[in-house]
Structure 1
Amino acid sequence: MGAILSRMLGRLWGEKEVRILILGLDGAAIGFNVETVTYKNIKFQVWDLGGQTSIRPYWRCYYANTDAVIYVVDSVDRDRMGTSKEELHAMLDEEELRDAALLVFANKQDMGGAMTAAEVSDALGLGTLKNRQWSIYKTSAVKGYGLTEGLDW
């Protein structure tokens, strides 16, 4: 997913260097992927960190100087939504991410039984976030929809 997003970022954002973390319980990466895209003299660093249980404690090593977090949620996996909420809020409580914007991708919307964006928002407790800029979008990384709309935010 990091490669797709980094290409889109190169087309959408501008005027400064931006550092973005892509996190979630189970990312596409086994360890981590780092993509750097330069577009119109703007540098985007996109860090796609793995979401396996053994890797999550190391997320905090990458928090410094992060401008935005893209938190990817498996909208079909209702059983793990509580764990996803715990990890998200623990991460957002970190001082180094105090000013980072949050974009949640309610992913796998192309699959039957996917939770709506509103259901994912409720399950993650996004409404309780105070003093943080955040948004949530329905996406399908496989089909490629919803990603651009989220990044336009």
Structure 2
Amino acid sequence: MGQAHSSTSPQVILMGLDSAGKSTLLSRLLTGQVMETSPTIGFNVGTLDLDKKTSLTVWDVGGQKSMRPNWRYYLDDCQALVFVVDSSDPGRITEAQKALKKVLSDEKLQGVPLMVLANKKDLPNSMTIREISNHLDLPSYTERSWEIQACSALKGLGLQQAFMSVNKLIKKS
């Protein structure tokens, strides 16, 4: 007999400003399709199977300004935070940086690994990973493991790899 395997998969929270592409990203991961999305009120949740043995429960939480105070209610049992940034929208990167800093300051996220997804990399003039990393002040987060990866939810590029990396970050933490 091997050891008992718990049926619950690690909880991953998907956060970011409204219009960063979180719901598109989740629907693309779960169905392989891009669905018409509208602003998320509350949350979407789905189970992402990475391989036969590994799945992640992904919570996509609405990012509109009025919703952000509620983010803290989704942090219980969170084992990784995936923060989605619209890399084609430099005008909102400071807002994204503040939102990220605020959520990471919650004690429930102490030591929880962070994956930043620079979404919409398929668009012309999108910011580089380095620019986004610096704008978000990622190098200052020395108390947690973090990674940043580029992706395009619309094209489905980089998503599977990103969540494989998220799974590795969870295993290391």
Normalised by the shorter chain, which TM-score bucket?
0.7 to 0.9
Match of 2:131 among 88, 96, 119: 119
Q: Give yes or no for the alignment of 1:30 onto 2:75.
A: no
- For structure 2, the 5+ residue unaligned runs are 1-6, 24-38, 166-173
Distance 1:24 1:81 in 2: 11
* Matched letter for residue 30 of structure 1: T
* Matched letter for residue 10 of structure 2: V
TM-score normalised by structure 2 residue count: 0.74
2:154 maps to what in 1? Answer: 142
Q: Give yes or no for the alignment of 1:79 onto 2:71.
A: no
Larger Rg: 2
Secondary structure of the structure 1 residue equivalent to 2:46:
strand
2:31 maps to what in 1? Answer: none
**Higher relative CO (CA 8 A, sep ≥ 6), structure 1 or 2?**
2
2:32 maps to what in 1? Answer: none
Distance 1:149 1:16 in 2: 22
Contact 1:70 1:103 in 2 (8 A): yes
- Of all paired residues, the percent bearing the same amino acid is 37
Secondary structure of the structure 1 residue equivalent to 2:56:
strand
1:20 maps to what in 2? Answer: 12
Seen in structure 2, the aligned counterparts of structure 1 residues 47 and 128 have a Cα distance that, compared at 3 Å, is same
Aligned residues: 140
> What RMSD over aligned residues (CA atoms) do the two structures have, in Å?
2.1
Match of 2:115 among 99, 103, 119: 103
1:27-68: per-residue Cα shift (whole Å, max 9, x none)? 435121011356656553210001001111100001011000
Secondary structure of the structure 1 residue equivalent to 2:97:
helix
2:67 maps to what in 1? Answer: 55
Seen in structure 2, the aligned counterparts of structure 1 residues 35 and 16 have a Cα distance that, compared at 3 Å, is closer
Secondary structure of the structure 1 residue equivalent to 2:154:
coil
Contact 1:16 1:42 in 2 (8 A): no
Distance 1:41 1:146 in 2: 21
TM-score normalised by structure 1 residue count: 0.84
Secondary structure of the structure 1 residue equivalent to 2:78:
coil
